[in-house]
Amino acid sequence: MGKSKNIERKINDVLNMFYGTDLKSASAIEVYNAVSKAVLGEKYEDKRRSDEVYFKGKVTYYFSIEFLMGRALGNNLINLALNDEVKKVLNGVDLKLEDVEEVELDAAFGNGGLGRLAACFLDSAATQNMPVMGYGIKYEEGLFKQEFKNGFQVEEGDNWNSVGEPWQIKVEKDQVEVKFSDLTVNAVPYDMYIMGYGTRNVNVLRLWESKALKKFDFNMFNEGCFDESMKGKVKGEHISRVLYPNDSREEGRILRIRQEYFFVSASLKDIIKRYIKYHGNDLKEFSKYVAIQLNDTHPVVAIPELIRILVDERNMDMDTSIAIAKETFAYTNHTIMAEALEKWECYLYGKLLPRIYQIIEVLNNKLVMELREKEVPEADINIMRIIQNGIIHMASLALYGGHAVNGVAKLHTKILKEDTLRPWYGAYPEKFQNKTNGISPRRWLKLCNEELAELITSQLHSESWLRDLSLLSELKPALIEEDFIKSFLTIKDKKKQQLAKYIYENEGVTINPKSMFIIQVKRIHEYKRQLLNALLVLDIYFKLKENPQIDATPMTFIFGGKAAPGYFRAKGIIKFINDIANLINNDEDVKGKLSLVFVKNYNVSYGERLFPAADLSVQISTAGKEASGTGNMKFMLNGTPTVGTFDGANIEIVEEAGEENNFIFGARVEELRSIAASYNPQNYYYNVEGLKRVIDTLIDGTFNDENTGMYREIYNSLLYGCDWQRPDVYFVLKDFEDYRRVINESKSVYQDKFKWGTMCVSNLIASSKFSSDRTVIEYCRDIWGVEPAQV
């Protein structure tokens, strides 16, 4: 029986068993679930064999509050080389694979770069046969589904599993109890198989769902207290209900603490159970077989929890338990902004997790003693304490309780050493490493840009580059071949047409596919400076209105991203951008010359359409504020030049591809540090041509924020400062003129198609450094101490 016939039989078996139908009669949702289950069934035995190979040796467990996985079907078909076979089966019953793939919703286990990085790492670890297992939370709802109403962001529930969960396997036998002072819940594991490309290895992401021990109080219900009878169930199951509950109120902070402890406690119990199965009851060699990576500060409570288990449940002494924890844990820092490092009130920990708080106090005291023995200045010790003024500093707990800390780009790590974590670097320089982020070339090129992937493969006569991105360097001779550049540009035009069609269907906005697509998609935050981009768009609009005869390159600016529900100013920036879009897109004077669209509910699947279609990648964070970024790498891999500041991984992108193939602008870190105390944005407001006009639209009636005060607050934050911050803390006004200059420069170059195509291909070829395969191999070698183990 041929491969496609075998797949067809398995799909029909699933349809018959679960839905009482077959391929010819099934609905799209039924076909999606059946194809997924049939593909998953192909890997059961490989998963079992992978477990046997992995768990006999050392394994890394990747703890992350987010895993932004994206759709699974298309990625898994590519990794298992089943794409053509499934297409053939579906074509036989007049179905298209792409239509079936569209049924799948993005699993809402993540929000931004943190979760997407974690997903890429799991894909790379499986592809490189590395023994890495992920642990997180199976959220019932994601962060939120984003809609716009009169330009305002509106948050709705994100019921991502409404079409089924075929990629998740419930493992009832491995459920464990997690105890708080006032509540005990069951943690029920669901496994997602992570299938490597070109290998039989199968890694696992285990996600925990919280279930109440007592679901229903029969006696209370019988007495008519219907709501009260369900209170225990509701309270217990809130823990895995929503990603990042709003923590502006104490109830939200309590729920976040519960979430973090819930998943790390369950995961550690699971790891210890597995350790005992393969290595026996003596946990003194725990770190010989177990490495745990803490992805940011959210899972850092795992450190005192492991110590608690070893001391209270395994009868080890405190000092030995602490030593084991230090050898086991490592911590990835994702921010240079001290205010973004997670902190919790001591009284909340004392109330919810009293034993954990006792252990944190022990760790704090030991840290202080150790620092004094090192003769660290008392002023630095006070900065480094885990407990300060009734607050637990989770980054300090991670730095003391683990053996390694890494930044995620060269500049980021440098700033950590010299500024954010300076005292720590002085006391423990051996703990610090850099691991520049990366992305999966399977999803971010092969899956989302099949045409470009085929062009590369035809040029290299092999798909080996999908496992070893350094092979892209062999494309260098193609830079001088006009046919290759033309083929690349033809593909880019096709992706732009596809995106324009998709945006019209989903946003109701018509954009010119022949215009220059300038795209900024990422979480909405002031330091990422979507506001700077919006002000420039408005400036371009006013100039076109003044001189409609300008022979200008048509431009389409595309924004996407969510603002946290409690982030008032970021939500004001979204409203401002949508108001600008409404002004521009309804003005016949600029039709075909300038357009702006803010795509709603930006996620992985939307990104798969945006990255291949971009002409210019907008990465304009204030220098020194962006840790790394991975969106910049996704654009680069698809052959898109960067317009950006000298920040995060932008620096390394320029190092690899050359500044001549990108557009770098703006003040650099050293300059901003030197002028911070004396900086007066009003000097730019009054003296930079056109700047006052666009900023004044926030308050002069051009736009209406419906009496929310959003626009006035943005205006004040730029010129006068608010919330105890100095004015224009992210230097939007200072960098405006230079940003305008570099956008104009990019427009001029864009008109020379061959030169532009050469710049694009140069970026594509130079992107090999930014494979997450390379990053994961470095973690395995330098931090985790694990070796590949192939089925």
- CA-wise closest residue to 617 among 648, 641, 597, 639: 641
Name the stretches of the chain with pLDDT < 50.
none
Per DSSP, the chain holds a count of helices (H) and strands (E) of 35, 21
Dump the DSSP string for 461-527.
TSSGGGT-GGGGGGGGGGGG-HHHHHHHHHHHHHHHHHHHHHHHHHH-----TTSEEEEEES---GG
What three-state secondary structure class fits 554? Answer: coil
DSSP 445: I
- CA-wise closest residue to 499 among 593, 651, 389, 611: 611
| Distance separating alpha carbons of residues 93 and 35, to the nearest angstrom | 14
Phi, psi of 168 (to 5 degrees): -110, 135
Which tokens sit at 413?
A: 């790590």
Task: Tell me how far CA of residue 740 lies from CA of 599, 668, 691, 729, 737, in angstroms.
Answer: 23, 17, 11, 20, 5
Could you tell me if 320 and 450 lie in one domain?
A: no
Q: Is residue 183 part of a domain?
A: yes
- CA-wise closest residue to 733 among 780, 777, 675: 675
Q: Is the dihedral of CA 503, 509, 511, 516 positive or negative?
A: negative
Whether 630 is catalytic: yes
The pLDDT, as a whole number, for residue 561 is: 97
The pLDDT, as a whole number, for residue 531 is: 98
Q: Is residue 695 part of a domain?
A: no
Q: Is residue 536 part of a domain?
A: yes
Which tokens sit at 176?
A: 């464990």
Q: Is residue 409 part of a domain?
A: no
Q: How far is CA 410 from the centre of its chain?
A: 19
- CA-wise closest residue to 451 among 673, 613, 601, 314: 613
- CA-wise closest residue to 288 among 60, 52, 48: 60
- The active-site residue, picked from 116, 256, 334, 393, is 334
Q: How far is CA 30 from the centre of its chain?
A: 30
| Distance separating alpha carbons of residues 757 and 765, to the nearest angstrom | 12
Q: Give yes or no for a contact between 492 and 485, defined as CB atoms under 8 angstroms apart.
A: no
| Distance separating alpha carbons of residues 480 and 720, to the nearest angstrom | 52
Q: How far is CA 352 from the centre of its chain?
A: 29
Phi, psi of 126 (to 5 degrees): -65, -45
* First-last CA distance in the chain: 25
| pTM score, whole prediction | 0.95
- CA-wise closest residue to 532 among 397, 684, 428, 334: 684
Could you tell me if 311 and 175 lie in one domain?
A: yes
Looking at the DSSP bridge assignments, the partners of residue 203 are 194
What three-state secondary structure class fits 192? Answer: strand
Looking at the DSSP bridge assignments, the partners of residue 179 are 184
- The active-site residue, picked from 238, 308, 522, 734, is 522
Phi, psi of 446 (to 5 degrees): -60, -45
Could you tell me if 177 and 308 lie in one domain?
A: yes
Whether 600 is catalytic: no
Total domains in the chain come to: 2
Could you tell me if 299 and 446 lie in one domain?
A: no
- CATH number of the domain encompassing residue 454: 3.40.50.2000
Return the amino acid letter for 123: D
Give every strand in the sheet of 391-393, ordered side by side: 343-345, 391-393, 387-388
- The active-site residue, picked from 326, 412, 431, 528, is 528
Helix axes 482-507, 753-766, angle to 10 degrees: 90
Q: Is residue 352 part of a domain?
A: no
pLDDT tens for each residue of 9-26: 999 999 999 999 999 999
Could you tell me if 495 and 632 lie in one domain?
A: yes
User: Rg of the chain's alpha carbons, rounded to an integer?
Assistant: 27
| Distance separating alpha carbons of residues 487 and 581, to the nearest angstrom | 33
Whether 461 is catalytic: no
Secondary structure of the chain: what % helix, strand, coil (to 5)? 55, 15, 30
Q: Residue 259 contacts by C-beta under 8 Å, 6 or more apart in sequence?
A: 65, 137, 239, 240, 245
- The active-site residue, picked from 127, 328, 436, 630, is 630
Residue 583's CB is within 10 A of a number of other CB atoms, namely 17
- The active-site residue, picked from 634, 734, 769, 774, is 634
DSSP H helices, 341-409, are 346-352, 354-373, 378-384, 394-401
- Domain end residue (candidates: 342, 373, 401): 342
Compute, in degrees rounded to 10, the torsion defined by CA atoms 757, 763, 766, 769: -150
The pLDDT, as a whole number, for residue 523 is: 95
Q: Is residue 685 part of a domain?
A: no
Vertex 290: Cα angle to 289 and 295 (nearest 5): 155
Helix axes 530-546, 732-750, angle to 10 degrees: 60
| Distance separating alpha carbons of residues 632 and 619, to the nearest angstrom | 7
What three-state secondary structure class fits 641? Answer: coil
Q: Is residue 428 part of a domain?
A: no
pLDDT tens for each residue of 698-756: 999 999 999 999 999 999 999 999 888 999 999 999 999 999 999 999 999 999 999 99
Could you tell me if 452 and 333 lie in one domain?
A: no
The pLDDT, as a whole number, for residue 280 is: 96
DSSP 614: -
Could you tell me if 447 and 333 lie in one domain?
A: no
Whether 523 is catalytic: yes
Q: Residue 482 contacts by C-beta under 8 Å, 6 or more apart in sequence?
A: 754
What three-state secondary structure class fits 210? Answer: strand
Q: Is residue 718 part of a domain?
A: no
Q: Give yes or no for a contact between 718 and 681, defined as CB atoms under 8 angstroms apart.
A: yes
| Distance separating alpha carbons of residues 449 and 447, to the nearest angstrom | 6
Could you tell me if 335 and 453 lie in one domain?
A: no
- The active-site residue, picked from 442, 523, 575, 740, is 523
- Domain end residue (candidates: 284, 315, 342): 342
Domain range enclosing 623: 442-667+730-770
| Distance separating alpha carbons of residues 739 and 730, to the nearest angstrom | 14
Could you tell me if 334 and 477 lie in one domain?
A: no
- CA-wise closest residue to 669 among 436, 415, 432: 415
| Distance separating alpha carbons of residues 526 and 119, to the nearest angstrom | 26
Which tokens sit at 705?
A: 């924020």
Residue 561's CB is within 10 A of a number of other CB atoms, namely 24
- Domain end residue (candidates: 313, 342, 371): 342
Task: Tell me how far CA of residue 437 lies from CA of 90, 311, 644, 646, 770, in angstroms.
Answer: 37, 36, 17, 16, 7
The pLDDT, as a whole number, for residue 214 is: 73
- CA-wise closest residue to 581 among 499, 716, 703: 703
| Distance separating alpha carbons of residues 457 and 460, to the nearest angstrom | 5
640 CB-contact burial (10 Å; exposed 0-12 / middle 13-18 / buried 19+): buried
Containing 188, the helix (H) or strand (E) segment is: strand 184-195
